[in-house]
Amino acid sequence: QQQVKQSPQSLIVQKGGISIINCAYENTAFDYFPWYQQFPGKGPALLIAIRPDVSEKKEGRFTISFNKSAKQFSLHIMDSQPGDSATYFCAASPYNNNDMRFGAGTRLTVKP
Amino acid sequence: GAGVSQSPRYKVAKRGQDVALRCDPISGHVSLFWYQQALGQGPEFLTYFQNEAQLDKSGLPSDRFFAERPEGSVSTLKIQRTQQEDSAVYLCASSLSYRGPLAGGRTGELFFGEGSRLTVL
């Protein structure tokens, strides 16, 4: 049961462009929304996370935008670089427990 | 080591064989999770331990799957009578604490191992 729906499945962006990945959720108990980055042969690694008390969080070139009423959140990667090429997963969980649910992933390719 | 360590990295099993996958979490991490990641998919939750207690095993797909963490550190995921549909990468993750109102910063961050890729022939 996919509790977090992610799109697109794959994304190709030119170097220097903006990569945008979207996620939607159903469970209103979710209130912690991380994004994970996974390189081939490696485990996912936390990239950035947000709680719904803010609508946006920025860390370097990575920004999460959060729309609580629409139950949607997105990852923006500014000035995308070839080294950003990886699979990105959104996830969600209730803050007071560890039941983390992941989206299906977006394979990002940044062309030089 | 500094990170979550999993072994074996690759396992090929014949259908019907039993397999055991090991996870060494980051030292001092209270919480430990097992996830199953099918090819091209996101991780799917299998089970969760807080110290040695298995608090949630709702994601285990069948009674052929069994996990333990007897001393609250190393964990083993065992799959009995493997089937082809069990082929996947099995990810282990640990986190510093039970995430809650007193947790700050990235305390609840999951640190993943590189996974054990199981292929059942």
Given CB atoms, is A30 within the 8 Å cutoff of chain B? no
Say if CB B23 and CB B113 are below 8 A apart: yes
**Predicted confidence (pLDDT) per residue in B13-47, tens digit:** 999 999 999 999 999 888 899 999 998 889 999 99
Instruction: Say yes or no for a CB contact (<8 Å) between A101 and B45.
Output: yes
Say if CB A91 and CB A75 are below 8 A apart: no
pLDDT (0 to 100) of residue B101: 38
User: Range with the lowest mean pLDDT among A36-40, B3-7, B73-77, B100-104?
Assistant: B100-104
Gap from A44 CA to chain B (nearest CA, Å) = 6
3-class DSSP state of B119: strand
Q: Give me B81's structure tokens.
A: 């009578």
Instruction: Say yes or no for a CB contact (<8 Å) between B106 and A49.
Output: yes
Q: Give me A88's structure tokens.
A: 């990105």
**Predicted confidence (pLDDT) per residue in B42-89, tens digit:** 999 999 998 999 988 989 999 999 999 999 999 999 999 999 999 999
List chain A residues with CB under 8 Å of B56.
Answer: 99
Given CB atoms, is B48 within the 8 Å cutoff of chain A? yes
Best mutation target among B39, B45, B58 (most A Cβ atoms within 10 Å) is: B45
pLDDT (0 to 100) of residue B56: 87
Residues 86-105 of A with CB under 8 A from B: 89, 91, 95-105
Angle, alpha carbons A24-A25-A26 (nearest 5°): 140
Mean pLDDT in consecutive groups of 10 residues from the start of chain A, 112 residues: 88 98 93 92 91 92 95 97 97 77 95 95
The Cα–Cα gap between A12 and B118 comes to 30
pLDDT (0 to 100) of residue A52: 86
Could you give phi then psi for residue A82, rounded to 5 degrees? -55, -35
